[in-house]
Amino acid sequence: MKFLRLIIKNVGRNKRRTVLTVLSVSVSVFLLATMQAVISALGGIGQLTGGEYRVVVRRNTSIADSMPEAYRQKIEQVPGVVAVYPSNWFGGIYKEDKPKYTFAQFYVDTKNLFDVQFELQISPEEKAAFQQERTAAVAGKKLADKYGWKLGDVIELKGAIYPLDPRLTLRGIYTGPQESVFYFHREYVEEAFGRPGKVGQYRVRLDSPGSAARVMEEIDSMFKNSAAPTKTETEAAFAASFISMLGNVKGLISGIGLVVVFTITLIGANTMAMSARERFTEVAVMKALGFRPAMILTLMLSEAVLIALAGGVLAAIAAKVIFQFVGLGDVLALFLQNFKIGSGTIALALGASALIGLVSGGIPAWNAARISIVDGLRRVA
Amino acid sequence: MAETLINLVQVTKHYRRDTIDIPVLDNIDLEIARGEFLALMGPSGSGKTTLLNLIAGIDKPNSGRVVIDGKDIAKFNEQQLAKWRARHVGFIFQLYNLIPVLSAFENVELPLLLTSLSRKKRREHVMTALSVVGLEDREHHYPRQLSGGQEQRVAIARAIVTDPSLLVADEPTGDLDAKSAEEILDLIKRLNEEFHKTIIMVTHDPRAASHAHAVLQLEKGLLSKSGGVYEVPAAHH
């Protein structure tokens, strides 16, 4: 502890350089923390309660392609299938075309929605009100809270994919592991477009998770020689394929994060080397006074770790504030329901910053510890 | 007869620059008594700073023995030398070499951080050292807030705070004006006379050397008079 003041004073020696180094480290560690949170969230897709009881049927070509409405009856007849509902992505604009107003919207068959998505909880009255009124909609509690929606509120969407601007009344607010989705009537859209009968995906509830493999195979075999062959997947696989439309997100983010961290480590090493060079004589004096090389090494490494840790703490706070309180994570949360800056991510941020400090300070500290006293003192004279 | 504190026996030192061997000290024999105040003089490159470094344990001879208080420090490894210096040697440099980010108090406290003294005891030691050099009211000042003479006083306080038996000073007045230089020399002399410190001072300045009990001349790595026989200024004896 008695050396802490010496370490802190040396850290504050060149304030501008220290601040810039802390900021550099914090930016890189912030990216790393974000990367880790995204990767964790990607790993959690389909892990939500109930996902193991469902499979998703879509076109084998792309999730953007559609299937005939008539498939529903055939799917319902497959042994092991308990309930089915057709669902289409609407992708409308709420208020403004900005990320903070972006959320998942599906028009669905309201009759079976809560039978298939059985983990979603809604009161019988709200469920009935939703099913009876063609312009009704339901939203997850998290979504309703975000926009301050109450039952009876009118929610207007502007069609971005379809030339339709639905005007919907919120009749129910559901709770559950996934509370960021907005559902409204398939009938509403079908009628507006003259009943084209196109379905983006069928959500299928199974009698047991063990039926999944057989049901998937049977469904795909059934439509194999049709005009619209299907690809049936588990909910987790479907979500992953949705994500895959964004490209190799994991690889991309990991790559960027690691490159930035590596670069910052090099910059940190250069900064520490500069600091050590400037103190060549001081280190020689300290050694003359009796400071051993190991002590010099420890002191200089501590400085580097302290600076990097300050960056790590700043990054953790920034990530927590930005993603949790400011809400820039909503865009990510659209696809990544589990996206959050948790304690594991914060631990990773702090660990990574400490490692940056150790690696960047290692060589300069080692060199400082090996300074010859005579050479160091001669430099002054 | 005075007790011998420092005994150099057949000490040779040379440096190697690339492939060239540069002799600095050649078979030096020297005895210095405890409580002595010795000035080392000689032209640039004569080896006086090297001799000082060997005695202070921050450099090692190529051959010979450097016996300080009965111990041959030439045989010490780096760890042992560091420990030995912390206990037995105080350093006074030409450019003071204070740590700019530390206050006068913290600079003087620096060598004490290597001891097991409590914070309270360290404070007592530091304040005593600062009072010896007359700067107890400057404990919170940083080096940039002090004059050159005051900086050197703080450096002297740092040198004596661990109560070493030997003080080595390399051109301690080389960067000071005449008045400050005289004050510093008086202080060093006081440390010798009142606190019985053995002092070896490298200087180019005959006036500074005149404060010493004895002057040792070095010329091309050789003592002008070997075997501990010094040229003693008449004014002091």
B186 assigned to some structural domain: yes
B66-105 per-position pLDDT tens digit: 999 999 999 999 999 999 999 999 999 998 999 999 999 9
Q: How confident is the model at residue A263 (pLDDT cuts 50, 70, 90)?
A: confident
Q: How far apart are CA A136 and CA B47, in angstroms?
A: 98
Which member of A13, A288, A292 has the closest CB to residue B79? A292
Q: Are the Cβ atoms of B102 and A6 closer than 8 angstroms?
A: yes
pLDDT of residue A29: 87
Q: Are the Cβ atoms of B113 and A292 closer than 8 angstroms?
A: no
Which member of A12, A13, A290 has the closest CB to residue B85? A290
Which residues of chain A make contact with B87, given a CB cutoff of 8 A?
Answer: 290
A68-123 per-position pLDDT tens digit: 999 999 999 999 999 999 999 988 889 888 777 888 899 999 999 999 998 899 99
Averaged pLDDT score across all residues of chain A = 85
- For residue A40, give every residue at least 6 positions away whose Cβ sits within 8 Å of its Cβ, in sequence order, or none: A338, A342, A344, A345
CB–CB of B5/B198 below 8 Å? yes
pLDDT of residue B155: 96
pLDDT of residue B11: 93
CB pairs under 8 A between A and B: 71
pLDDT of residue B236: 43
Return the ∠ at Cα B156 (arms to B211 and B78), rounded to 5°: 110
The total domain count for chain B is 1
A131-143 per-position pLDDT tens digit: 999 999 999 998 9
CATH number of the domain that residue B104 is part of: 3.40.50.300
Share of chain B above pLDDT 90, in %: 76
Statement: residue A275 has pLDDT above 90: no
* Shortest CA distance from A373: residue in chain B: B58
Statement: residue B183 has pLDDT above 70: yes
CA distance B200 to chain A (A): 16
Give alpha helix (H) positions in A45-202. Answer: 71-76, 110-116, 124-132, 141-147, 186-192
Statement: residue A166 has pLDDT above 50: yes
A34-65 per-position pLDDT tens digit: 877 777 776 655 455 567 789 999 999 987 88
Lowest-confidence range among A121-130, B125-134, B155-164, B216-225? Answer: B216-225
Return the ∠ at Cα A117 (arms to A111 and A123), rounded to 5°: 70
A347-357 per-position pLDDT tens digit: 888 898 898 88
In a mutational test of the A interface, the residue from B48, B62, B113, B144 whose CB has the highest number of chain A CBs within 10 Å is B113
Which member of A13, A281, A288 has the closest CB to residue B85? A288
* Shortest CA distance from A294: residue in chain B: B79
CB–CB of B54/B200 below 8 Å? no
B40-73 per-position pLDDT tens digit: 999 888 888 999 999 999 999 999 999 999 999 9
Could you tell me the pTM of the whole model? 0.69
DSSP state of A371: -
Tokens matching residue A276:
């050590």
B191-234 per-position pLDDT tens digit: 999 999 999 999 989 999 999 999 999 887 677 653 344 444 43
Lowest-confidence range among A98-102, A272-276, A357-361? Answer: A98-102
Give the strands of the sheet with B198-202, arranged side by side. Answer: B89-92, B166-170, B198-202, B37-41, B214-219, B222-223
Q: Are the Cβ atoms of B101 and A288 closer than 8 angstroms?
A: no
Statement: residue A279 has pLDDT above 50: yes
Instruction: For residues A364-377, give the mean pLDDT.
Output: 89
Averaged pLDDT score across all residues of chain B = 89
Q: How confident is the model at residue A307 (pLDDT cuts 50, 70, 90)?
A: very high
Tell me the one-letter amino acid at A135: T
Q: How far apart are CA B57 and CA A362, in angstroms?
A: 28
B119 assigned to some structural domain: yes
Lowest-confidence range among A144-158, A289-303, A335-349? Answer: A335-349
Q: How far apart are CA B16 and CA A143, in angstroms?
A: 77
Q: Are the Cβ atoms of A286 and B110 closer than 8 angstroms?
A: yes
Say yes or no: A7 contacts chain B, CB-CB below 8 A: no
- For residue A1, give every residue at least 6 positions away whose Cβ sits within 8 Å of its Cβ, in sequence order, or none: none
Backbone angles phi, psi at A109, to 5 degrees: -80, 110
Q: How far apart are CA A276 and CA A369, in angstroms?
A: 10
pLDDT of residue A45: 54
Instruction: For residues A156-160, give the mean pLDDT.
Output: 89
CB–CB of A223/A71 below 8 Å? yes
Q: How far apart are CA A243 and CA A229, in angstroms?
A: 22
Say yes or no: A292 contacts chain B, CB-CB below 8 A: yes
- Location of structure tokens 């620059």: B17
| Domain boundaries, position B156 | 35-60+82-236
Q: Are the Cβ atoms of B101 and A12 closer than 8 angstroms?
A: yes
Statement: residue A268 has pLDDT above 60: yes
- For residue B56, give every residue at least 6 positions away whose Cβ sits within 8 Å of its Cβ, in sequence order, or none: A288, B85, B89, B91, B166, B168
B2 assigned to some structural domain: no
Say yes or no: A291 contacts chain B, CB-CB below 8 A: yes
3-state secondary structure (DSSP) of residue A83: strand
CB–CB of A76/A97 below 8 Å? no
pLDDT of residue A276: 82
* Shortest CA distance from A293: residue in chain B: B79
B68 assigned to some structural domain: no
Tell me the one-letter amino acid at A218: E
B21 assigned to some structural domain: no
Q: Are the Cβ atoms of A289 and B83 closer than 8 angstroms?
A: no
Which member of B97, B102, B111 has the closest CB to residue A290? B111
Backbone angles phi, psi at A49, to 5 degrees: -55, 130
Share of chain A above pLDDT 70, in %: 88
Among chain B, residues having any CB pair with chain A shorter than 8 Å are 49, 53, 56, 58-59, 78-79, 82-83, 85-87, 91, 93-95, 97, 99-102, 106, 110-111, 113-114, 119, 158, 170-171
pLDDT of residue A345: 82
Q: How far apart are the first and last CA of chain B?
A: 16
Q: Is A291 exposed, middle or buried (0-12, 13-18, 19+ CB in 10 A)?
A: buried
Q: How confident is the model at residue A2 (pLDDT cuts 50, 70, 90)?
A: confident
Q: How far apart are CA B151 and CA A157, in angstroms?
A: 75
Which member of B53, B82, B106 has the closest CB to residue A290? B82
Q: How confident is the model at residue A323 (pLDDT cuts 50, 70, 90)?
A: confident
Which residues of chain B make contact with A374, given a CB cutoff of 8 A?
Answer: 53, 58-59
Angle between helix A293-320 and helix A4-11 axes, rounded to 10 deg = 60
In a mutational test of the A interface, the residue from B114, B122, B151 whose CB has the highest number of chain A CBs within 10 Å is B114
pLDDT of residue A56: 92
pLDDT of residue A381: 40
Share of chain B above pLDDT 70, in %: 93
Q: Are the Cβ atoms of B114 and A291 closer than 8 angstroms?
A: yes
Tell me the one-letter amino acid at B104: A
